[in-house]
Amino acid sequence: MSTESIESEAPSRMRELLRDIASGSVLRTLLAILVSFLVGSLLIIFTNEQVQNASSYFFSRPTDTFSAAWNAASEAYAALFRGSVINFGATNFVDAIYPLTETLRFSGPLILAGLGIALSFRSGLFNIGGQGQLLMGAIFAAWASFQLDLPPVIHLVVAIIFGLVGGALWSGIAGLLKAKSGAHEVIVTIMMNYIAVSLVTWLMRTPVLHDMTSGENPTTRAPAINAQLPKIFGDSFQIHLGFVLALLGAVVYWWLLERSSIGFRFRAVGLNPAAARTSGIDVGRVYILAMVCSGLFVGLAGVNQALGRTGSFTPSID
């Protein structure tokens, strides 16, 4: 086998693997969850002090080791369930389901960012620039939230649009370089992550984003009340409209890839760019559009992080 054939075969295998992961079935998802629980249980067991002590005399009393292992794993997952789903020890309904609402709130940006990355995978691109795209989406949304003076609903919509534009522009640069110069998107997106972090950190020390009377630490100003994502169930829970946007994003993602003509082009290029080019599809244009659409979803995750709070945030957006 020649060197050229080996080099051409490697990217196709990587593209096939990414496509296979992004288009996984329900059974594969359930198996992945099961395996994660099993691996997590093993890590808990092997690092538990009681299990380690009992294993020192395993051959004389093996039941002690098995009992300690079961207790360690079961108690850990019980605590995980109480802290993330339902707290059965709570004295009222609000406190009981509060962990579930917090889990849903934190899942919003993860869902949106995952959709954006999955979209690029389906198009045959390896977009690992989610950090930079999320940061730019958050910064654009934050700037619009406190620099513009607009009526309540319009202000929120405009801030969301700004966030979408920020994420799309940042990812679109990688798509443009891929299409026009052949620059590998992995290298470009990695570099742009570092650029985004440095740029945002600098802007957070300037009047563009920072309240100069609040110290020198890199932070943004708090979003205006008119531009904050409203809470869904009032002040009893922190979950806000960002989770609804994540669900809508999932619906849009499905329609875009499975029901639209541009989604067909995305999938065709992801399966075989050479065949897609032969059939008349502009592969370079598809790369640009795929990265832009990917950035839209990740940018919306940044909007979730920037506007789903009442205070400022730092470059880590935690």
Total Cβ atoms within 10 A of residue 251: 9
Per-domain residue ranges of the chain: 1-84, 98-307
pTM (two decimals):
0.85
Say if residue 9's pLDDT is above 50. Answer: no
pLDDT tens-digit readout, 72-128 = 999 999 999 999 999 988 889 999 999 999 999 999 999 999 999 999 999 999 999
Residue 17: pLDDT band (50, 70, 90) is low
What are the two backbone dihedrals, phi and then psi, of residue 292, each rounded to the nearest 5 degrees?
-65, -45
pLDDT of 63 above 80 = yes
Q: Is the pLDDT of residue 158 over 70?
A: yes
- Section 48-65 average pLDDT: 92
- pLDDT greater than 70 at residue 20: no
Q: What percentage of the chain carries pLDDT values higher than 70? A: 92
Closest to 68 in 3D by CA, of 46, 43, 36:
46
Give pLDDT, residue 18: 59
Q: How far is CA 22 from the centre of its chain?
A: 14
Tally of residues, the chain:
318
Task: State the chain's mean pLDDT as an integer.
Answer: 89
Q: Is the pLDDT of residue 22 over 60?
A: no
Please provide residue 75's backbone torsions phi and psi, each rounded to the nearest 5 degrees. -65, -35
